[in-house]
Structure 1
Amino acid sequence: MIEKLVIFGVSMADVLVVSFFLLVWIGYTYVADHSSLHKKSISYAMDRQRLRWLTEASSREVKIVDTNVLRTLITGISFFASSTVLVMGGLIAALGYAEKLAVTFSHLPLINPVTTDGLTLRFCFLLGIFVYAFFKFAWAFRTANYCAIIIGGMPDTAPNQNAAAKQNRITVATSLSSTSGHSYNRGIRAYFFALAGLAWFVGPVFFVAATIVVLLVLIRREFASNSVRMLRGLD
């Protein structure tokens, strides 16, 4: 398999750095979203605030505040989903000019010479990242809408309201909101790693360096930023 990749303009170094990139991305996703360290992340802290928000929403007779919050969240998700489609279109268009771009890249300083096939693979690599991001944003958009419907179906506060049914709606709405938030986060995370992927056009060493920088930025923002400390102070 590696020999075939070399024939198409990808060296052994390229194979290794792409493997490193994917290992870092998958490993970070596991640590941030599924390991025991997840409880120290900003995503976990926000899940707790979602529960508080929707608990309060279930007790409000007029849910104008809650619908405004949902509208803001959905607007942000739809913006990135639309932007991702535009980026994908640009990358697909670039594939048609891969031969000309390969010549242009060969004259740029600091950039390793790359064949047309190698450049095509790099564009396809980025396209794959943004396709993944689009699916995450699309699912975040759908689950946010599901959450809005559940909130809209919450009955007004009443003395005879079934406590178990109320709590069940809160749990479901919180779960849907959390799912939307996590899908949105993974879409944004794909954008960060796509920035690292751009460094592959310069060369394998730059690709590794950019991947490490992106990883460090994500770790700080997820586990050690001022926002995390402030959210933990609300618990």
Structure 2
Amino acid sequence: MMTTADYIALCFFALTWFGYARLLRSASLFGRTSLTHAMIERRREWIYNSLRRDLKMIDTQIMAGLQNGTAFFASTSIFAIGSCFALLGAADKVDAVLADVPLVLQSGRVGFEMKVGGLAVLFGYAFFKFGWSYRLFNYCTILFGAIPMMRDCENDVLAAERAAERVIRMNIIAGGHFNEGLRAIFLSIGYLGWFINPYVFMVTTTIVIVVLARRQFFSEARLAIMDRDPSSNLHLSPIPRTRPSADGNDSHGGL
């Protein structure tokens, strides 16, 4: 059966998850803007940039990519839930295998089924987040289709900006639900430590949270999208200009 250490580890998991989510809502850590909030500004730039062009095939492709990625993770969550139910049907075999693994604390069939049930709940939560995110991205596509053409934008700038803001808000909300579902998938990796023992569970949860926090506040991906002075990129080589070749064609300097 479940021990006191198991309940402490489960509470630690829930509090760590809740605390990390609250940390991301605060937008910054030690004065550093999170990757998620930096991407919100890039979303805004993208939508406002679309107001300056009539041909929006690029934008619709981006929207389709966001929806396809969300649908992929929603399908993956469904398969993971089915795997959890299959694991419940083979509880005796899995328990016999884990009995020979070092450091594994046996919690009995009931304890094992509770752990698998908790894992299924995690994947179920992720599925609902991905499913709702997919629906919101669909709404976002419809709102994007209501953005006026360039000439109409020039005639009524305020109406164009209101239409753009609706798309931006819906896109941000959809992206937020997608991130929450993805966070549940990542934390399910830490949850697997519980099948060994509650102490490993707390260690693996801490490792996952540290990795996620590093990616949000200290990663190269965050630096890549932050506003920086172009003069600081002096290590980049300039793109060679085209020059006429001997036969009169354009040469790209070997590129």
TM-score computed with the length of structure 2 as normaliser: 0.85
The question of whether the paired residues in 1 share the 8 Å contact of 2:27 and 2:34 is answered with no
Shift of 1:107: 2.1
The aligned counterpart of 1:3 is none
Shift of 1:154: 1.4
- Larger relative contact order (C-alpha < 8 A, sep ≥ 6)? 1
Q: CA RMSD in A?
A: 1.6
Shift of 1:108: 2.2
Number of residue equivalences: 226
Percent identity, please. Answer: 31
Matching residue's letter, 2:128: F
Q: In the TM superposition, what are the counterparts of 1:187-206 in structure 2 within 5 Å?
A: 187-206=181-200
Residues 90-117 of structure 1, C-alpha deviations (whole Å, 9 max, x = no match) = 1012112223322222122332223000
Question: What is the DSSP-based 3-state SS (H/G/I as helix, E as strand, rest coil) of the residue aligned with 2:106?
Answer: coil
- Please give the alpha-carbon distance, in whole angstroms, between the structure 1 residues aligned to 2:100 and 2:107: 11
Shift of 1:81: 0.5
Shift of 1:197: 0.3
1:172 has 2:166 as partner? yes
- Please give the alpha-carbon distance, in whole angstroms, between the structure 2 residues aligned to 1:139 and 1:74: 11
Shift of 1:59: 2.4
The aligned counterpart of 2:57 is 64
The aligned counterpart of 1:103 is 96
Residues 12-49 of structure 1, C-alpha deviations (whole Å, 9 max, x = no match) = 000000000100000000111x2252771111111101
The aligned counterpart of 1:37 is 28
Question: What is the DSSP-based 3-state SS (H/G/I as helix, E as strand, rest coil) of the residue aligned with 1:112?
Answer: coil
The question of whether the paired residues in 2 share the 8 Å contact of 1:17 and 1:204 is answered with yes
The aligned counterpart of 2:210 is 216
Residues 186-223 of structure 1, C-alpha deviations (whole Å, 9 max, x = no match) = 11111111000000001011111101101110110011
The aligned counterpart of 1:225 is 219
The aligned counterpart of 1:11 is 3
TM-score computed with the length of structure 1 as normaliser: 0.92
1:79 has 2:53 as partner? no
Which structure has the bigger radius of gyration? 2
The aligned counterpart of 1:21 is 13
Shift of 1:234: 5.6
Structure whose residues are more often helix by fraction: 1
Question: What is the DSSP-based 3-state SS (H/G/I as helix, E as strand, rest coil) of the residue aligned with 1:61?
Answer: coil
Matching residue's letter, 1:224: F
Shift of 1:71: 1.1
Which deviates further from its counterpart, 160-169 or 221-230?
Answer: 160-169
Moved over 6 A (4+): none
- Please give the alpha-carbon distance, in whole angstroms, between the structure 1 residues aligned to 2:173 and 2:106: 43
- Please give the alpha-carbon distance, in whole angstroms, between the structure 2 residues aligned to 1:107 and 1:28: 35
Shift of 1:144: 0.8
Aligned in 2, Cα 1:222/1:36: closer, same or farther, shift over 3 Å?
closer
Which stretches in structure 1 are left out of the alignment for 5+ residues?
A: 1-8
Question: What is the DSSP-based 3-state SS (H/G/I as helix, E as strand, rest coil) of the residue aligned with 1:158?
Answer: helix
Residues 172-196 of structure 1, C-alpha deviations (whole Å, 9 max, x = no match) = 1001111111111111111111000
Q: In the TM superposition, what are the counterparts of 1:98-177 in structure 2 within 5 Å?
A: 98-158=91-151, 161-177=155-171
